[in-house]
């Protein structure tokens, strides 16, 4: 029953173009399920990554490969006008370089054979308080860091026997502890960005003598590679410098390190570009699945609604891949998650309207 209600609510998120509520779903279902029952369902069940894994596992097993990639990222859903609590609180948003009030979720994506699936999520809950050294004011803090959540994600993926070769993220997850965890503990490889002020040694002799320099002081040509030792690591990594043009026409640079020193410059950048898949998925989750229109403030309901959004995204991703597998290679780029979600929404609206009105239009909708 729980699984069925979760799938129904996920479908409701897909077809809705405005604010989603328990009352709204009850109306869509023709009153067959009361809004009180839906509210109890959302407020009493504690859905976690374990439940998401139960949904995604059958799909993932069809597409996983030894060259699979784990992608971690965090996203913040702004809630500037909501009352603050342990989940809706202040977080630093590196995309705008300031603190914003909202819901901060860390997500893990699995990418293989052109398929991108969410497999784990964790909402940052700031259940503790401390005194901010800069302001002298009390502030909320989480008992676990994002890097600790990241490492727990990887351990769980290994425990679930998921096939993967590389782990990628942005530079907020590039701690030395995480690098050691991936390479030494799990015997996997990583492609991670690092800041230009990170220090390194150019040889094992320099490392042993403590001769470290910053990346920015290393005159590394764009498109070139160099094997170095990052401070705190006992194994060498391959460093590359990527230069690109920003939207405003300015020149930007990105430093990537890979524990797989067999990778070329092009192979390294191609692997790291998979990171954008997770941002596209959660952008689609916001725009197509209405994750940004949640009205509840209760932490458990928020968590359950976000899982329902991810479940809806998973359903759309499965439909997307089913269609892509049946298209000629030269037409596959025309298919996107957003388009699939919109098509699914239009079809779902037709079916709901037709079946509730008990008209012969159901056959016409099915034909379309």
Identify the pLDDT of residue 323: 57
Q: How confident is the model at residue 184 (pLDDT cuts 50, 70, 90)?
A: very high
Largest CA distance in the chain: 81
For residues 291 and 122, the model is more confident at 122
Percent of the chain's residues with pLDDT above 70: 69
Tokens in use for 61?
């097993």
Cβ 255 vs Cβ 193: under 8 Å:
yes
Contact residues for 292 (Cβ-Cβ < 8 A; gap 6+)? 77, 286
Q: What is the DSSP letter of 223?
A: T
**So what's the pLDDT on residue 125?**
92
Band of pLDDT at residue 321, cut at 50, 70 and 90: low
Judge contact between 174 and 73, C-beta under 8 A.
no
Whether 64 has a pLDDT exceeding 80, the answer reads yes
Structure-block tokens of residue 222: 């764009």
Q: If pLDDT is split at 50, 70 and 90, which confidence band does 331 have? A: low
Q: What is the pTM assigned to this prediction?
A: 0.78
3-state DSSP percent of the chain in helix, strand and coil, to 5: 45, 25, 30
* Residue 330: pLDDT band with limits 50, 70, 90: low
Q: Give tens-digit pLDDT for 77-98.
A: 888 888 898 988 999 988 788 8
Q: How confident is the prediction for the chain on average, in pLDDT?
A: 80
Question: Rounded mean pLDDT of 303-332?
Answer: 61
- pLDDT reported for residue 362: 46
């Amino acid at each position: 029953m729980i699984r069925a209600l979760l799938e129904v609510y996920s479908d409701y998120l897909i077809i809705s173009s405005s604010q989603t509520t328990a009352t709204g779903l009850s109306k869509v279902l023709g009153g067959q399920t009361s809004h009180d029952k839906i509210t109890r369902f959302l407020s009493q069940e504690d859905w976690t990554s374990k439940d998401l894994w139960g949904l995604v596992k059958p799909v993932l097993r069809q597409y996983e490969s030894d060259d699979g990639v784990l992608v971690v990222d965090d996203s913040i859903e702004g809630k500037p006008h909501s009352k603050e609590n342990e989940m809706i609180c202040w977080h630093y948003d590196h995309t705008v370089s300031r603190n914003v009030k909202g819901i901060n979720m860390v997500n893990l994506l699995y990418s293989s054979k052109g398929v991108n699936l969410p497999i784990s999520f964790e909402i940052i809950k700031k259940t503790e308080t401390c005194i901010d050294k800069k302001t002298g004011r009390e502030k909320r803090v989480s008992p676990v860091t994002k890097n600790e959540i990241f490492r727990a994600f990887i351990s769980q993926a290994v425990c679930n026997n998921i096939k993967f070769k590389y782990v990628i993220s942005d530079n907020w997850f590039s701690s030395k502890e995480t690098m050691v965890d991936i390479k030494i503990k799990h015997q996997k490889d990583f492609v991670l960005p690092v800041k230009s002020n990170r220090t390194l040694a150019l040889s094992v002799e320099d490392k042993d003598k403590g001769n470290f320099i910053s990346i920015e002081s290393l005159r590394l040509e764009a498109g070139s590679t160099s094997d170095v030792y990052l401070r705190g690591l006992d194994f060498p990594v391959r460093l590359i410098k990527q230069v690109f043009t920003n939207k405003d026409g300015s020149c930007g640079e990105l430093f990537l390190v890979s524990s797989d020193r067999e990778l070329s410059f092009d192979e390294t950048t191609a692997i790291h570009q998979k990171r954008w898949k997770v941002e596209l998925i959660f952008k689609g989750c916001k725009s197509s699945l209405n994750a940004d229109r949640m009205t509840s403030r209760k932490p458990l309901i928020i968590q359950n609604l976000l899982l329902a959004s991810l479940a809806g995204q998973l359903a759309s991703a499965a439909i997307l891949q089913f269609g892509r597998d049946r298209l000629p290679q030269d037409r596959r780029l025309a298919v996107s998650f957003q388009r699939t979600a919109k098509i699914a929404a239009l079809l779902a609206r037709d079916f709901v309207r037709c079946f509730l009105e008990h008209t012969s239009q159901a056959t016409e909708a099915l034909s379309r």
